[in-house]
Amino acid sequence: MIQLTERANIAFARLGKVQIAAFAEIEGLDNRDLQEFIDTASADYLKNGAVEVFLVYAHKVPLTAMQRHMLVEATERIKATFKANAVITESVLVVAMIKFLQLFVNVKINAFTPAQMNKAIDWLREFTDFDKREANLLLRQMIDRLRVARKARNLDK
């Protein structure tokens, strides 16, 4: 159920109408990893129907402007409309950017710290029904798999 990009920098899975993704705790996510995630998730979206909410664990490193553009472009290409997006991150910059977006765009997006993972999941459940325990377990497994895969490839110091 959990998929990893080739370089083990993104883990992702779909839980019914929920897309869950976790980004590795690295500096500078490679655009190739993001494109691989986008291509796979887009194909799943087109094959299995709409995803209603998006749960992302992004740790500390924000996406670049180009990577944000890639996500927006992919969303527009498949005509995806998410009821809500939750980002779990330790990045003060990402949290501030999301809080700013909440004021000016008509998109339901919220930021949470890793300690607020359950709160993020509860918030998304206001928009669509899914198993809270399964979502929590999936996200934790993704984070662990990313760490294990990266250590196995000697990519973490």
CATH number at residue 86: 3.30.750
- pLDDT on residue 33: 92
Could you give the number of structural domains in the chain?
A: 1
Task: Judge whether residue 14 has pLDDT over 90.
Answer: yes
In which domain, by residue range, is 84 found? 3-152
Asked if residue 126 belongs to a domain, the reply is yes
Asked if residue 141 belongs to a domain, the reply is yes
Q: What's the chain's average pLDDT? A: 87
Asked if residue 67 belongs to a domain, the reply is yes
Burial per residue of 116-128, b for 16 or more beta-carbon CB atoms within 10 angstroms, e otherwise: ebeebbebbbebe
Percent of the chain residues past pLDDT 70, beyond the cut: 95
Asked if residue 24 belongs to a domain, the reply is yes
- pLDDT on residue 136: 96
Asked if residue 65 belongs to a domain, the reply is yes
Element (H, E) at 1: none
Asked if residue 118 belongs to a domain, the reply is yes
pTM: 0.88
Residue 76 identity? E
Lowest mean pLDDT among 7-11, 88-92, 112-116, 129-133: 88-92
Express each pLDDT in 44-68 by its tens digit: 988 998 889 999 998 777 778 898 8
d(CA 36, CA 80): 17
Asked if residue 157 belongs to a domain, the reply is no
- pLDDT on residue 90: 86
How would you class 33 by CB atoms within 10 Å of its CB: exposed for 0-12, middle for 13-18, buried for 19 or more?
buried
